[in-house]
Amino acid sequence: MKLLVASWYVVPGCSGGWTTVMDLLQPRHQLFFLGAAVPGGMDVCEGIPVRRLRWPATSSESWPFANRVRERLFATSLASSLRRAFDDSGSELAVCLDERMACAASRAGLPWGLRLHSNPGLLAPDAYAALLKEALFVTCGQLDTPGAVFLPHSADLSRFEYREPPAAEAVIMTSSLVEPEQPEVFVRGTAASGLRGTLAGQGPLRHDLELLCSETGGRVRLVPPVNRMAMPELLSRHQIGVACLRKGWPTTYQMKIAEYQASGLFPLVQPWSEFAAVAPSLTRTFEDAGELASVIAQIAAEWPGTLDTRRANRAYALERFTIENARNQFDAILQGLDLRVRGHP
C-alpha cells in the first residue's frame, strides 16, 4: 500500500518518532514523507522520498486580527501542500502523526488516519472529538487515550546486537536536545561519575550543550544524532544507557530504553518514567545530576553483579516490543478500511 506519512515535528532519520513509524510500516508499505522538520536540501532519507514544508509566519500579539487571517491562510496552504504531496506520490492513504497534520488532511479531503505518539493536547477537547469522527482510524502509543486504539511504540529490535561486556566504562543518552528531556542533567551527572559519556542528538539546546560539554574536559562529548540503522553500532560502544525526562511531562514512555535493553546496556531512568513504574526491578532511578553521578558509579562498581538484570532487561524488551505484533495490528486496521480508500472501485 502507498502511504503518505505527514508530521509537523518528526526529523527524518533522527527522531524516535521516525524510527517507530518507519519500523512499523516498512517493508510492507511504500512510503512518502512530508514534514515541517525536514532538513533543508534533504529529498531522500533511508531510501524514502521526503518533502519539506514551510514554517508559518510568526504571529504578533499586537495584531490579533492579522494573526487570525494568517492562521486561516496557513491552514489552507498546509492542506494544499498535503494534497499536492498525496497526489504526486500516488498515495492511497495519509498517516498523520499529529493533530495539525490531521486537520490539514481533513481540510484537503484526503483519506487519512491518525497515529498519535502520546495523548492529544494540541486541540481543545471538542475540536479533537470532531476530528476523531472524520478519521478512518486513530491509534496512540499510550493507554487510555480517548477514541484511540492502543498501538505500542515498537522498534525493530532485531537490529541490535546484545552484548555482555566485562566492565562498564561508557554511558550514553540518545535524546532530542530540548528542555523536557533534560540533557544537561545527563552531561553534569555523567561528568561527575568518573565514566565517559556520549550525548547524541539535535535540537534548540545544542549550542548551550556544546559549551557545557566543553567544560567537562572531554569526558562527555556531544555528537550528532544517528539514523536508526546506525544506532546499534553507536550503542554497542557503551554499557549504560540514560533516559532523562522533566517531572510532570505528559509523555512518560521513552522508546530509547527498549533499544538500550536490546543492546545489553543497563538502563537508568528518573522515578516518574513509565519504565520505573512498571518494571522497577530492571532499573535504577535518579532525580538530579548528583544522584545520576552516584548511580552510574555504583553500577560501574557492581558491574559483574548486574548481569542477571541486564539479561532480564533484554527479555523484557523483546517480549513487549516485538515489531511484528505492532505491524500485524496496524495491517489489520488497514484491512478493515473501506476498500475505496485503498484504491479499489
Using one digit for the tens of pLDDT, what is the confidence trace for 218-266? 999 999 988 888 999 999 999 999 999 999 887 787 889 999 999 999 9
Note whether 283 and 138 are same-domain residues: no
| Alpha-carbon span 237 to 1, nearest angstrom | 38
Contact partners, residue 191, CB within 8 Å, separation at least 6 = 197, 215, 216, 219, 220, 293
Note whether 244 and 337 are same-domain residues: no
Q: In residues, how long is the chain?
A: 345
| Alpha-carbon span 312 to 326, nearest angstrom | 22
Note whether 161 and 101 are same-domain residues: no
Using one digit for the tens of pLDDT, what is the confidence trace for 301-330? 999 999 999 999 999 999 988 889 899 999
Note whether 88 and 47 are same-domain residues: yes
Give the angle subtended at the CA of 195 by the CAs of 193 and 197, to the nearest 5°.
105
Using one digit for the tens of pLDDT, what is the confidence trace for 67-99? 555 667 777 889 999 999 999 999 999 999 998
Q: Tell me the percentage of the chain whose pLDDT exceeds 70.
A: 91
Note whether 103 and 164 are same-domain residues: no
> In the structure grid, which three cell numbers stand for residue 170, read together?
561508557
Q: 33 with 47: CB under 8 angstroms?
A: no
Note whether 97 and 217 are same-domain residues: no
Note whether 268 and 329 are same-domain residues: no
> In the structure grid, which three cell numbers stand for residue 217, read together?
574536559
DSSP codes, 179-192 = GGG-HHHHHHHHHH
> For the CA atoms of the chain, what is the radius of gyration?
21
pLDDT at 57: 45
| Alpha-carbon span 128 to 249, nearest angstrom | 20
Model confidence at 339, pLDDT cuts 50, 70, 90, reads very low
Contact partners, residue 219, CB within 8 Å, separation at least 6 = 190, 191, 196, 197
Contact partners, residue 15, CB within 8 Å, separation at least 6 = 9, 37, 176
| Alpha-carbon span 10 to 98, nearest angstrom | 10
Amino acid at position 119, single letter: N
Amino acid at position 201, single letter: G
Note whether 307 and 337 are same-domain residues: no
pLDDT at 342: 39
pLDDT at 60: 44
Note whether 75 and 201 are same-domain residues: no
Whether omega for the bond prior to residue 125 falls within 30 degrees of 0, making it cis, is no
Q: 282 with 183: CB under 8 angstroms?
A: no
Closest CA to 197 of 179, 184, 181: 184
Listing from the earlier edge strand, what are the strands of the sheet with 93-96? 44-45, 48-52, 30-35, 2-7, 93-96, 112-116, 138-140, 149-150
Note whether 62 and 208 are same-domain residues: no
Give the angle subtended at the CA of 214 by the CAs of 272 and 194, to the nearest 5°.
60
Range of the structural domain that residue 220 is part of: 157-320
Note whether 82 and 127 are same-domain residues: yes
CATH number at residue 264: 3.40.50.2000
| Alpha-carbon span 120 to 131, nearest angstrom | 11
Note whether 122 and 181 are same-domain residues: no
Residue 205 pLDDT exceeds 70: yes
- The three-class DSSP label of residue 247 is coil
pLDDT at 125: 76
Domains in the chain, number: 2
Query: How many CB atoms lie under 10 A from the CB of residue 70?
Result: 16
- For residue 48, the cross-strand partners are 45
pLDDT at 341: 43
Residue 295 pLDDT exceeds 50: yes
